[in-house]
Chains A and B, each alone.
Chain A
């Protein structure tokens, strides 16, 4: 049974550019969450989507946006990249309306130069 998949695996961008990261949840899961993990720190919550509706947003600037598609896959977009956006971006999916059990994908490692 496939787990959460994310693409691309690695990405190198220049300051000021825009990036789109993609996530496919576990089959049957309707909720997708995005987290940012800077080296040496725990993941920080960015967004959660459930049934294509935004259910929560973390303390991130408006340069960060996301959406969920009818097949429950999701995209995270980051505009006007800054050096500080360099991090591992993690996607997690869960199947229940109250998401105690969240399963993470392998992440996309973004480097901004």
Chain B
């Protein structure tokens, strides 16, 4: 079993809809949580990062962390075709606070006009 699980999709939504993405993890020592966006054949782009449980909002993006359920989410409001990409969740263990990212497999999102 992988430490970070993410549904690979694809997730197809119409333009303007809310995109809901999530990851689950097995190790309660994960302390830092990130979301990256990766366009085809490009490097990942950092969207948001959060520390411990709670919500964080940045423009159309909202990240949620529920450490009691070992579950994190990313919501994209008013989705646009330019949001079509693979979204990767990533986490860092407390013991790896120097920065070893552990990634999920990524969820492919397709926003149709």
Contact = CB atoms under 8 A, between A and B. Distances in A.
Interface string B88-113: 10101000111111111110000000
A72 interface: no
B43 A55 contact: no
B46 A109 contact: no
Interface of A: 4, 31, 33, 35, 40-45, 48, 50, 55-56, 58, 88, 90, 92, 94, 97-107, 109
Contact of A98 (B8, B44, B98, B106): B98
Contacts, number: 71
Contact of B34 (A88, A100, A107): A100
28 contacts: A4-B43, A35-B101, A40-B8, A40-B105, A42-B4, A42-B6, A42-B90, A42-B103, A43-B103, A50-B98, A55-B98, A56-B98, A56-B100, A94-B99, A98-B99, A99-B99, A100-B49, A100-B51, A100-B92, A101-B46, A101-B49, A103-B46, A104-B36, A104-B43, A105-B43, A106-B43, A107-B42, A109-B41
